[in-house]
């Protein structure tokens, strides 16, 4: 009997502090569905259970105000970052989530160090923040566009590791997901946006330019994943050609991580015992 898949099988090995070992993305099949039951209906049912569980965990997180949660979503264009937010967190109280999209830096943002705009958005005590793209754009894009050299991006890897360590030491739980799709799947999804006039607003012609650089982005990702997966901020690679599978797997991961925090409602206040409101 095949071994049941474990989330940790999809975790990028931790950087050893010495030599960067790029993560081989080909080692994980984008079309595989390790966390699927095999039946779409059952998967949707499971997703619904997990989303409800996340809602309960988020309420405790908020009530306790001890932990801070940061989920970082990265992936090629059309890999499903928006869809993951919607699918996984649909039952979570909108009050309890802060979704932060990072676009191309504004003039003011670009005039600062690359972590400046990111730092201002990290979660506070009791908060659950999701970064839709993140500081990682700044080691991927400038590298592929040849605006920084190897020394430059390796310095940024270190700066990111140090920054994330500081956040973790101050009570932030960091989880990073790479949504892993194939080049063929991207083709289908981009074509669908082009063929549906109502989706044109989602389509940025520069996505086609980025697609031409697919192999360069893939290499940049493999390097970045290997250089920045750490025990306090691990990367997980999510097979994401199937949207349902992607959502189930991210939901399983987040439920496990939140359950691991032993979130609890703060103790009842003895001082409230017996009080009658007038």
Q: Which residues bind a second copy (CB under 8 A)?
A: 63-64, 82, 85-86, 89-90, 92-95, 97, 99, 101, 132, 187, 190-191, 194, 197-198, 200-203, 205, 208, 211, 265-269, 271-272, 275-278
Nearer to a second copy among residue 14 and residue 214 (C-beta): 214
Instruction: Please give the sequence-ordered ranges of beta strands (E in DSSP) within 76-135, or none if there are none.
Output: 97-101, 128-132
Two tokens, residue 205: 């012609």
Q: How far is the CB of 134 from a second copy (least distance, A)?
A: 15
How far apart (Å, rounded) are the C-alpha atoms in residues 197 and 100?
A: 27
Rounded Cα distance between 55 and 73, Å, is: 19
Is the dihedral angle over the CA atoms 83, 84, 89, 90 positive or is it negative?
Answer: positive
Instruction: Name the minimum Å distance from CB 73 to a second copy.
Output: 11
Helix (H, G, I), strand (E, B) or coil at 236: strand
What are the DSSP calls for 28-53, one per residue? S-TT--TT--S-HHHHHHHHHHHHHH
User: Nearer to a second copy by C-beta: 106 or 150?
Assistant: 106
Q: Given the complex with a second copy, which of 85 and 160 has the nearer CB atom? A: 85
- Who contacts 175 (Cβ-Cβ below 8 Å, separation ≥6)? 69, 70, 71, 72, 233, 234, 236, 253, 254, 257
- CA dihedral (191, 106, 164, 156) positive or negative: positive
Q: Which is nearer to a second copy, 92 or 139 (CB)?
A: 92
Q: How far is the CB of 84 from a second copy (least distance, A)?
A: 10
Question: In angstroms, what is the minimal distance from the CB of 152 to a second copy?
Answer: 31
Q: Which residues contact 139 (CB under 8 A, 6 or more apart)?
A: 153, 156, 157, 160, 220, 224
First vs last C-alpha separation in the chain: 65
Q: How far is the CB of 106 from a second copy (least distance, A)?
A: 12
Smallest separation, CB 82 to a second copy (Å)? 6
- Between 53 and 139, CB nearer to a second copy: 53
Q: How far is the CB of 188 from a second copy (least distance, A)?
A: 8
Question: Which residue, 8 or 278, has its beta carbon nearer to a second copy?
Answer: 278
Rounded distance, CA 138 to CA 148, Å? 10
Tokens at 221, concatenated: 């990702």
**Phi-psi sector, 75: left (phi>0), alpha (psi -120 to 50), beta:** left
Residue 58 C-beta: closest distance to a second copy, Å: 11
Q: Which is nearer to a second copy, 155 or 200 (CB)?
A: 200
Nearer Cβ to a second copy (1/95): 95
């Amino acid at each position: 009997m095949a071994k049941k898949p474990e989330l940790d099988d999809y975790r990028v090995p931790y950087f050893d502090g010495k030599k960067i070992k790029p993560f081989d993305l080909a080692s994980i099949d984008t079309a595989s569905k390790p966390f699927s039951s095999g039946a779409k209906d059952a998967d949707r049912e499971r997703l619904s259970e997990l989303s409800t569980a996340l809602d309960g965990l988020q309420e405790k997180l908020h009530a306790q105000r001890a932990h801070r949660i940061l989920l970082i979503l990265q992936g090629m264009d059309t890999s499903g970052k928006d869809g993951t937010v919607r699918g996984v967190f649909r039952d979570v109280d909108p009050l309890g989530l802060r979704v932060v999209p990072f676009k191309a830096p504004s003039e003011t943002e670009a005039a600062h160090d690359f972590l400046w705009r990111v730092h201002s958005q990290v979660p506070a005590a009791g908060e659950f923040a999701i970064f839709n793209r993140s500081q990682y754009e700044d080691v991927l894009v400038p590298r592929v566009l040849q605006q920084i050299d190897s020394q430059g991006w390796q310095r940024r890897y270190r700066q990111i590791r140090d920054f994330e360590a500081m956040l973790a030491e101050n009570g932030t739980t960091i989880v990073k997901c790479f949504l892993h799709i194939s080049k063929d799947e991207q083709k289908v999804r981009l074509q669908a946006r082009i063929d549906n006039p109502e989706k044109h607003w989602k389509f940025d012609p520069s996505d086609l330019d980025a697609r031409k650089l697919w192999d360069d982005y893939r290499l940049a990702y493999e390097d970045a994943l290997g250089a920045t997966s750490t025990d306090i901020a691990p990367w997980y690679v999510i097979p994401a050609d199937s949207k349902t599978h992607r959502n189930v797997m991210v939901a399983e991961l987040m439920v496990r991580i939140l359950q691991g925090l032993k979130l609890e409602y703060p103790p009842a206040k003895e001082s409230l015992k017996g009080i009658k409101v007038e």
